[in-house]
Amino acid sequence: MTDATDAGARARLIAGLRELADYLETTPAPVPRYGAEVTVHAQGTDAQQCAEVDRAAAVLGSPVSDRLAVSGHYETVRTFGVVSLRVVAITEARMARYRAHISYADNVLPDDDSDVTAQEDVAVRAA
């Protein structure tokens, strides 16, 4: 079960979205130019994740995009104006490739005269 199906997490998310909408209506805070997206990452085995996406697609009335063979992603999206709700399954094999790829992040640096050290770069990305 993902946090999205947990009643407490669901109530907190909905309250937070309403609070954000109210805040944006009353202040000149910047907003994304091209919209926003809420992404729910399915949990469990590959099969369980895909089943969760299928259930979400049925509830949302949205099609499933099966790109498992290409990118390891299986997802559904429903758009509300410029805001989208995406439910995605990512295969364990794809996640393993991603983790292997990012494991080099602090070891491969651009060959330039930049004053930014790897430590500073990590701190900036984490902020």
Per-domain residue ranges for the chain? 1-31, 34-105
The Cα 31–Cα 20 span in angstroms is 11
Q: Which helix (H) or strand (E) holds 55?
A: helix 46-60
pLDDT digits (tens, 9 = 90+) for 31-76: 999 999 999 999 999 999 999 999 999 999 999 999 999 999 999 9
pTM score of the predicted model: 0.77
